[in-house]
Amino acid sequence: MPALANALVRPAEPDDLEAISVLVNFYADLGNLLPRSTNQIAENLEHFIVAEIDSDIVGCASLELFTRNLGEIRSLMVDAEHQRLGIASNLIITLITRARDMDVKRVMALTYVPELFHKHDFRTVDKSIFPEKVWGICINCYKFHNCDEIAVLLEL
For the stretch 50-69, pLDDT in tens is: 999 999 999 999 999 988 89
- The side-by-side arrangement of strands in the sheet containing 123-125 is 8-11, 48-53, 56-67, 70-78, 106-111, 150-155, 123-125
Quick one: average pLDDT of 90-109? 96
CA 86 to CA 5: how far, in whole Å? 10
Q: Could you tell me whether strands 48-53 and 150-155 are parallel, antiparallel, or unpaired per DSSP bridges?
A: unpaired
Question: Does residue 61 contact residue 77 with C-beta atoms inside 8 Å?
Answer: yes
Its CATH architecture, for the domain 8-155, is 3-Layer(aba) Sandwich (3.40)
Q: How confident is the model at residue 72 (pLDDT cuts 50, 70, 90)?
A: very high
* Domain coordinates in residue numbering, the chain: 8-155
For the stretch 9-23, pLDDT in tens is: 999 999 999 999 999
Q: Which pTM was predicted?
A: 0.86
Name the β-bridge partners of 111: 150
**Structure confidence at residue 145 (pLDDT):** 56
Least confident range of 37-41, 88-92, 125-129, 131-135: 131-135
Q: Who has greater pLDDT, 35 or 2?
A: 35
